[in-house]
Amino acid sequence: MWEKINKISQSEKHPASLLSHCNSMVMIKDKQRKSKSDPVNEGPFKIVAKSTNGSYTLEDLEGTLLPRNYVMSSLIPLSDNPLENAESYEIEAITNHRVNNGLTEYLIKWKNYDESTWEPEMNIDDLSTIHQYWNKRK
């Protein structure tokens, strides 16, 4: 019943590179968030399969399958590379935010580093850090 993801058809609305293979990391658009300070997306999740009807089976970072499948329009690709192969740094704190070209960026104080950098939300793996930042500002 399930087929492994090898290629996404060029005729689909999203570019083929977005969800090109198993192990691609994605976020799920959260259309039912309760307040503006809640994260816009949930995740990250790993694509493990594509059903014959075109929906995707996802698993969380602990390897647990999500209880339902998701259509492509509700997914936001993070990269073509699996998260476990990506270099990752630990956030000590988010100290400020700004809007740059319509995207919210956060000033990140990195653990074990002296310099802070401005990073877009999509570069932050753990969105609970952003949620904590906004809760402190209330």
Task: Give kind and range of the element (H or E) at residue 129.
Answer: helix 127-137
Helix (H) and strand (E) counts for the chain? 1, 8
pLDDT band at 81 (very low <50, low <70, confident <90, very high): very low
Q: Same domain, yes or no, for 118 and 102?
A: yes
Instruction: State pLDDT tens for residues 6-48.
Output: 333 333 334 333 444 567 888 888 877 788 788 888 888 888 9
Q: Which of 84, 100, 122 is the last residue of a domain?
A: 84
Our CA angle for 104, 97, 115, nearest 5°, is 115
Q: Which domain range does residue 109 map to? A: 91-137
Where residue 50 sits, what CATH number does that domain have?
Answer: 2.30.30.140
Q: Give the global pTM.
A: 0.45
Q: Same domain, yes or no, for 13 and 72?
A: yes
